[in-house]
Amino acid sequence: MGSYVDQSLTRNESVISRAQTSWIPTIIPVIIGILLLPFYGLGLLIIVPVLLRVWSTELALTNQRVIAKVGLIRRNTVELRIDKVESLGIHQGILGRIFNYGSIVIKGTGGTNTPIPNIKAPMQFRSIVNNHI
């Protein structure tokens, strides 16, 4: 099974940049999950969804679009042509500022805001997108 971004590419479309997902926000839920494993495996109810969300989040800039996907079973996708991207916002808490991760909020000309959570180096990705708009 290939990545959603790779499967979504059209003819003459190539990936310029891919954002990576940060593992930092998952540390506390994973630790709690590990501590709860001895109790009838309850920890798996915490660990599995957290890891699936990290592994299934994709964000990429191509020469034609911004493509984002969050989720595996309940999947949310956004594909915006570069000329339809109005802005890319960044939401970072204090830990996000310290460890350089945050949510990127993509706003298209239709007015919908789409947050893509826990992206590593969000300012750098936003800068790359802004240079190609």
Q: Which two tokens stand for residue 30?
A: 């994973």
To the nearest 10°, report the CA torsion of 131, 94, 60, 58: 180
What's the confidence (pLDDT) of residue 42?
86
Output the tens digit of pLDDT for each of the chain's 133 residues. Answer: 578 888 889 899 999 999 999 999 999 999 999 998 888 888 898 889 888 888 889 999 999 999 999 888 888 888 888 888 888 899 999 999 999 999 999 888 877 788 889 999 999 999 999 888 7
Q: Cβ–Cβ contacts within 10 Å for residue 51, how many?
A: 15
Task: Tell me what pLDDT residue 1 has.
Answer: 53
CATH of domain 14-132: 2.30.29.30
Could you tell me the residue ranges of all domains in the chain?
Answer: 14-132
Q: Is the pTM of this model over 0.75?
A: yes
Contact 80, 68 (CB under 8 A): no
